[in-house]
Amino acid sequence: MLAIDGSAGEGGGQIIRTSLALAALTGKEIHITNIRAKRPKPGLRPQHLTAVKTLAKICNAKLKGAFVGSKELVFEPGKIEDASLVANIGTAGSISLLLQQVLPVSLACNLKLRVFGGTDVSFAPPINYIQKVTFHYLRKMHAELALNILARGYYPKGQGCVTFESRQCLPLKPIRFTSLGSLQKIECYAHCSGMPAKVAKDSAVVAKNTLKDLLGSFEWVEHIEASPERKQTIGFGVDLFAKYSNCILGANSLGLAGSKPENIGEKAAKALFEEISFLAPLDSHCIDQLIPFMALANGKSIIEGKLTKHAITNIMVTEKLLGVEFKVDTKEQRARISVDGIAFTI
């Protein structure tokens, strides 16, 4: 049984997600200790537990230590099978992070999944990011994925709903992203629930004007999504995507009841400008997400971007589970990351 120290690297949920997903794919039994040891509330939280149990259903795994607060987990995977499942996190726990947990395994089967929880919450990628950026790159690798946002869910009540589908598509194709290309347009998705549509519109206006001051002229495509009558979850957000000829960069900002739309719009714009200014083809949120898929692909993959703690952690875990060796060439904060994939298939 493979031992995984959950306190290694950034010591958060990323180790759980990557190690369990790759263990499920490869059929390796693993024992994770010190789960989320470096977080304010260590151990499994409801969102992690729901993700683990959902993954276990897909690969018929046996679990020991699967309860809220658990700092130790034994995962014994079985056969991966097609599935149609419902996962209810029960809180505003991130739907995006649950999808990250099952994504690698979803490529080895035909999966239909309906998830209830938080679509737009702190310390997790917004659901638009998963749909517009993460899936964009995975489709370049030949992944067949579909995601529909049925309802938004904000902190603290959640109440969001997303449907996800995948088809068996292994082995994956390798990727190579080493340059930005030319900027084609910037897309804005401003959304709110339980608030007037003006909140979303005002935050989008400020985001656009802030970026104009920082970048000059560009094509702007705006999407406003408002559900003022929907009071069971209250919040708003701005998701921005810079679409280049070679890649997509994303950034966002979230607001709660009482937050000023102009502050949220400006914060999202400055976050996107920071990603653009780095001049890398992958933003700081995407680079770690692609690491496991690069190792699974049939051939050599190369990407460039900011070397984050999440990326370093995912490299460490992926090397341990798949037996690959990543090459990381760094120049200041920028890194070129490459690996010869194992052409994994079922």
Considering only CA atoms, which of 244, 235, 233, 237 is closest in space to residue 223?
Answer: 237
* Residues 22-57: b if buried by 16+ CB within 10 A, e if exposed: bbbbbebebebebbbbeeeebbbbbbbbbbbebbbe
Q: How many CA atoms lie within 13 A of 236 on its CB side?
A: 30
Q: Is position 285 annotated as part of the catalytic site?
A: no
Q: Label the pairing between strands 160-167 and 144-151.
A: antiparallel
Task: Spot the catalytic one: 48, 191, 285, 310.
Answer: 310
Quote the Cα angle for 159-165-169, to 5°: 150
Contacts with 151 (C-beta within 8 Å, 6 or more apart), sequence order: 119, 159, 160, 161, 230
CB atoms within 10 A of CB 171: 18
Longest dimension (CA), the chain: 56
Q: Please list the active-site residues.
A: 310
